Structures are given as structure tokens and as C-alpha cells.
Amino acid sequence: MLLELTDAQRHIVALIREFVENDVKPVANKLDNADIYPHDLVERMRQLGLFGVLVPEEYGGLGLDYTTFALIMEELCRGWMSLSGVIGTHHILIHMLVHGGTEEQKREYLPKLASGELRGGLALTEPGGGSDVQGAMRTVARREGDRYIVNGSKMWITNAYYGSAFALIAKTDPTAQPPYKGMSAFIALKDHPGFKVVQKLEKLGYRAIDTCELLFEDYEIPANRLIGGVEGRGFNQAMSALEGGRINVAARAVGVAQAAFEAAIRYAQRRESFGKPIAEHQAIQLKLADMATKIEAARLLTYQAAALKDRGQRVDLEAGMAKLFASEICLQVAMDSMRIHGGTGYAKELDVERYFRDAPLMIIGEGTNEIQSLVIARNLLKRYAV
């Protein structure tokens, strides 16, 4: 890989790899198949400091960059993609506070998020909303004195059950045109009876991690939890954070694809057919070469986007390309790995079946790939404007 790692990054990667090999891989299939939340693994992640990867050191975090965060995500997902969800959307809230919060909000919440005392998430998507974030949003926050009263619902919220703090996006001005100018972001805590987790959603993959619907019924939230202290900035704050989220998803896809490839190339050297290992058959060799090449291309796109974000650049084009390509090749590689395994890969006893179930999430999540293609095209038209 054309990426010069620092000594610190090598140490972190080695630490996460050891955690994955010793603690995660032995139990991942069992927990995933039974859909059991991995409390022990999450506690170990907290001890490793993974809840504070992107929190500046002055607020109690590790103060690392997006490139290192992507390296961590890739390694975690080589073991079990579901674990990445625990800290993925957690860092969406962290990004919004670091880059848009008031100093009072940073000092109040970032140390608690870094330690894992608070576990974060993003409450953005609504039932029936999907990719139409602006037009379909119905959740409203009405100002009453020194508080807001929130009514509405959110769907497909990761960390909803076991999480405790959420970046809640709601309309403070429902009449604003365009609609995004009336959207604001709040730090929503489970400290009021109006905040309800109403159902856990059963999923094809990405199992064992809580994904739920949230309901807000006259939920009271103090005005000092309006992120940045100014209404109307919520949409831009969320979209900026989701740039990093797409790098996160791209790194997840690279990790799952790498795991699927490693399983395939090891199996191909052990499984014999027609008197020799199937790795010696040209048909299998062509698949392995294609898989490895696509993974390396996805990896390079991902870490280029991360490096540009670390320089402070807008990376909606680069992050969109990385997320689009990495997620698509992840599904392709997972399918090819299953084909190389044959009937064995279709059984739940092996990890390959799980990789195939997890892969579609990266195509759909953090903005569907169809939306990513539109974002990429619009940015290219700006760049090459005639």
C-alpha cells in the first residue's frame, strides 16, 4: 500500500489487529448469528481509547487524524464489521461538536464522549425520508423560553438503544426556503421521558448492534444544547460530519473486502479439485487477481480522501468516490469469495457468509451509492465548468 505509516500509526494498527485476532474473531460469528450485543468487546474498545479517537487531547481524547481513524476502521472490520458501528456514528457527534460546538459544549460533552461515559449517535434519517433529508423531515423543535420542545421520529438510528447522546437534527423553522436553512442540530440526551426508543429493527447484516426507531413526544431540550448556539446551521453541520462518515464507510468496506479475500485465498490453497489445489486452476487465479486489485484501488481512494480531509480540504468529491467504489467492490469481492468457497461458503459456520450479508450496508448507508454518484457528478461539473 502506497501509504507511509508513522511509528504511532503502526503501533495503533498492531494494537487493533491483536484485539481483532485474539478477542473479536473467536466470538464474532456466534454473537452475530444470535444477534447479541457485544458488551465485553465494546468495553475493551473503550479501554483502548477508541471512543475518543478524533477528540482533541485537550478534551481528553487521543487527538488522532482521519487517516488513522480509517486505519482503525479497516482493521476492526477485518474482524467484524458490526463493531465499527459503535464508534462510527459516535464520531459523527464528536465531529459536529469539535467543528461547530460552543466552547462550553466542547468542555461539557467531549471528555464524556472520549471516555465512553456518553455513547453517541446521529438522529437524522426519518421514516419515509431516506435520501430526501430536507424535503421529508418532519421533526420540529419549537423554542419556548430557555428550551425547545421536539416532536417527531427518527429511523435506522445506530446506537439508539445503548447510546446516550445523539446529534438530533430537527426543523426550527419549518417554513424556511430552501428547507435546509431551517434545520438545526441539538445534543439530545436520554434525560427526559419524551425521548423514546420504540422498536429495534431486525437486519440482514450489521447484526448485534442496536439499530432502532426513536420517537420524540414533547421532548424538552435545553436551549444551551443547540450545537453552536445558532439556529439554521444543523444541515451543514451534519453534512460536513458525514464527509468523514463516508471515509469511515469506505474504510469499513475495504476491511470487509480484505477479510473476504484472505478467506478465499487461504481456502483456495487448501481445497483440492481434479487432483490439485483449486488455487492452481486458472479460473480461480483470475478471480483472486481481480479481487486483490480492486481492494488495493479502493484502499488508495479511501486513504487519499482521508489525507485530504486531514489537510482541512473539502472532500465531498473524494469521499464520495471512495465510498462508492469501495462499497461496490466489497460486495463483489464477498460474492467472489463465496463462489471460490462453493457450497461451504454458503454455510453459517464460516465467516464468508457474514461478509456477504454485511456488504450491502456500505452500499446503502451514509448516503446511497446512487446519491454518491450524483454528488460526484455535480462536483465534477463544477471542477470542469465551461
Q: Is 361 helix (H, G, I), strand (E, B) or coil?
A: helix
**What pLDDT, on the 0 to 100 scale, is given for residue 375?**
92
Higher-scoring residue by pLDDT: 126, 132 = 126
Do residues 119 and 86 make contact, with C-beta atoms less than 8 angstroms apart? yes
Classified as helix, coil or strand, 124 is: coil
pLDDT digits (tens, 9 = 90+) for 355-370: 999 999 999 988 899 9
Say yes or no to pLDDT of 135 above 60: yes
Domain borders along the chain are 7-115, 120-233, 236-383
Written as one string, the DSSP assignment of 132-200 is -HHHH---EEEEETTEEEEEEEEEEEETTTT--EEEEEEES-TT-SSGGGGEEEEEEES-STTEEEEEE
Exposed, middle or buried: residue 109 (CB in 10 Å: 0-12, 13-18, 19+)?
A: buried
Look at the chain and count its residues. Answer: 386
| pLDDT tens digit sequence for 146-173 | 999 999 999 999 999 999 999 999 999 9
Looking at the predicted structure, is the pLDDT value of residue 310 above 90? yes
Kindly report, residue by residue over 31-56, the tens digit of the pLDDT: 999 999 999 999 999 999 999 999 99
| pLDDT per position as a tens digit, 234-282 | 999 999 999 999 999 999 999 999 999 999 999 999 998 999 999 999 9
Show the cell assigned to 185: 442540530
pLDDT digits (tens, 9 = 90+) for 80-109: 999 999 999 999 999 999 999 999 999 999
At 181, the pLDDT band (50, 70, 90 cuts) reads very high
- Spatial separation of the C-alpha atoms in residues 49 and 61, rounded to whole Å: 8
- Catalytic-role residue among 75, 126, 243, 366: 366
Which of these, 368, 288, 289, lies nearest to 328 by C-alpha position?
368
Cell of 297: 484501488
**7-115, CATH topology level:** Butyryl-Coa Dehydrogenase, subunit A; domain 1 (1.10.540)
CATH number of 120-233: 2.40.110.10
Instruction: State the average pLDDT over residues 375-384.
Output: 95
Question: Confidence band (pLDDT; 50, 70, 90) for 143?
Answer: very high
Output the nine-digit C-alpha cell for 323: 465510498
Could you give the CA distance from residue 54 to residue 103 in angstroms, rounded to a whole number? 17
The answer to whether the CB of 371 falls within 8 A of the CB of 133 is no
- Tell me the DSSP string of 49-101: TGGGTTS-GGGTS----HHHHHHHHHHHHHH-THHHHHHHTHHHHHHHHHHHS
Whether the Cβ atoms of residue 250 and residue 134 lie closer than 8 Å to each other: no
pLDDT of 313 above 80: yes
Question: What share of the chain in percent tops pLDDT 70?
Answer: 99
Q: Is 272 a catalytic residue?
A: no
Choice between 293 and 349, residue whose per-residue pLDDT is larger: 293
What is the pLDDT at residue 185?
98
Over residues 326-343, mean pLDDT: 97
Q: What is the mean pLDDT of the chain?
A: 95
User: Whole-model pTM?
Assistant: 0.95
pLDDT of residue 128: 79
Task: Name the architecture of domain 236-383.
Answer: Up-down Bundle (1.20)
In whole angstroms, give the CA distance from residue 16 to residue 45.
9
Sign of the torsion formed by the C-alpha atoms of 16, 22, 24 and 29: positive
Nearest-angstrom CA–CA distance, 51 and 88: 9
CB atoms within 10 A of CB 309: 22
- Average pLDDT estimate for 306-330: 95
Tell me whether residue 3 is exposed, middle or buried, using C-beta atoms within 10 angstroms of its C-beta: 0 to 12, 13 to 18, 19 or more: middle
> Is residue 310 exposed (0-12), middle (13-18) or buried (19+ Cβ within 10 Å)?
middle
- Residue 267 has phi, psi (to 5 degrees) of -65, -40
Q: Mean pLDDT throughout 137-152?
A: 97
pLDDT category at 2 given cuts 50, 70, 90 is low
Q: Please give the pLDDT value at position 201.
A: 92
